[in-house]
Amino acid sequence: MTTSVPKMPLPIHIPDREIIDPSIDLEAEIARLKKERNAIILAHYYQDGEIQDIADFVGDSLALSQRAKGTDADVIAFCGVHFMAETAKILNMGKTVIMPDSDAGCSLADRCPPDVFSEWMEQYPDHVVVSYINTSASIKALSDIICTSTNAVRVVESIPADKKIVFCPDRHLGRWVMKQTGREMVLWPGFCVVHEQFTARKLVKLKRLHPTAQLIAHPECEQSVLDMADYIGSTNQLINYVVDTTDVDSFIVATEMGVMHQMRKRRPGVEVIGAEPASGCECAVCPYMRLNTMEKLYLALRDLKPEVHVPEDIAKRALAPVEKMLALG
Ligand code: 13P
Ligand code: SF4
């Protein structure tokens, strides 16, 4: 009797991938291909340490779009998630933008589809739309201005006080910005699957174990977590805070654990403790960001694919709100 494996729906599409010869020196090959292609490698702080170390530039989502805008490379190899690579493409429509894995999405961007958003927006016709950079190009095209977690407060403060505001898609960042600015905003109910996993209950326990540690958190965490935090900031701001706060030696970090690579690198000897997600896993990793690997980066540079495309009309409309943000810094 033979037993067949029952057909099960897979949580994500897993394409057939070429198996790379494990004896290949990937670092050397990536460096060679980068030169051959006149490519620049941009990486977000949530990438694995070895990808951060081989990149030409590592940054938060604001710095990455600033760097993408100024590049004279012919190819941008973007090690991050799709909305970040798409933003680089919007800023460089004449260049080739590739990603190691085009399935690297984002729960915030993916759960804010443009058709549903447009219908929802019919209730708020006279509102200024501020969209977090964690949105698709189509949502950016429907927005007045884009922000990142680094400049969200500055962006909202730039909007005249008599204007009503819709903020999408992260409700936690939106609530935090409302608190900082005193502005009322209508919030799209989106969330990040990584940051929503941190709970005040688990953090209270962790703080008891590390009484001298400061808790630092990304504003995508829920309110009860932010209320406990000693410092709140974007990935870049959290890294800088750890580096600059030299009278503190220990930090509990409530964001994706990729940032800890830079913290340890820039301040050797510092104790950084990753906040545990509620799921029982020991470390918080973004399942989308971590689809990118050195092997896939090598293949992407070799084959110049998967390539990121944005339709011309959408890119044109999305560029204005992105440029508006970049002008504010
Ligand atoms: P930063 O802008 O702080 O880098 O955040 C990007 C992101 O996706 C956070 O989850
Ligand atoms: Fe999106 Fe959250 Fe991953 Fe950032 S950590 S890319 S917000 S899913």
What would the mean pLDDT of 115-130 be, rounded to a whole number? 97
Residue whose C-alpha is closest to residue 48's, from 75, 19, 23, 79: 79
- For 244-290, the DSSP string reads H-TT--EEEEES-TTHHHHHHHHSTT-EEEEPPPTTS-SS---TTGG
pLDDT in tens, 97-107: 999 999 999 99
Q: How confident is the model at residue 2 (pLDDT cuts 50, 70, 90)?
A: very low
What would the mean pLDDT of 65-87 be, rounded to a whole number? 97
pLDDT in tens, 154-203: 999 999 999 999 999 999 999 999 999 999 999 999 999 999 999 999 99
Atom 6 of ligand 2: nearest residue by CA position: 106
Residues with CB under 6 A from ligand 2: 81, 106-108, 134, 192-194, 220, 256, 286, 288-289
DSSP state of 190: B
Residue whose C-alpha is closest to residue 284's, from 256, 242, 307, 260: 256
Q: Is the CB of 47 under 6 A from ligand 1?
A: no
Across all residues in the chain, what is the average pLDDT? 94
Q: Is the CB of 135 under 6 A from ligand 1?
A: no
One-letter identity of residue 280? G
- How many angstroms separate the most distant Cα atoms in the chain? 75
Measured from the Cα of 238, ligand 1's closest atom is: 3
**pLDDT for residue 18:** 83
Q: What is the dihedral of CA 10, 291, 187, 183, to 10 degrees?
A: 170
**pLDDT for residue 3:** 43
Q: Nearest ligand, CA of residue 45?
A: 1
Q: Please, are residues 325 and 145 in contact by the beta-carbon 8 Å criterion?
A: yes
Atom 1 of ligand 2: nearest residue by CA position: 106
- Secondary structure string (H, E, C) spanning 134-163: CCCHHHHHCCCEEECCCCHHHHHHCCCCCC
Atom 3 of ligand 2: nearest residue by CA position: 286
Q: How confident is the model at residue 278 (pLDDT cuts 50, 70, 90)?
A: confident
Residue whose C-alpha is closest to residue 173's, from 61, 87, 282, 272: 61
Q: Which structural domains are found in the chain, ordered by start?
A: 26-104+289-309 (3.40.50.10800), 108-192 (3.40.50.10800), 199-274 (3.40.50.10800)
Distance CA(183)–CA(61), nearest Å, equals 24
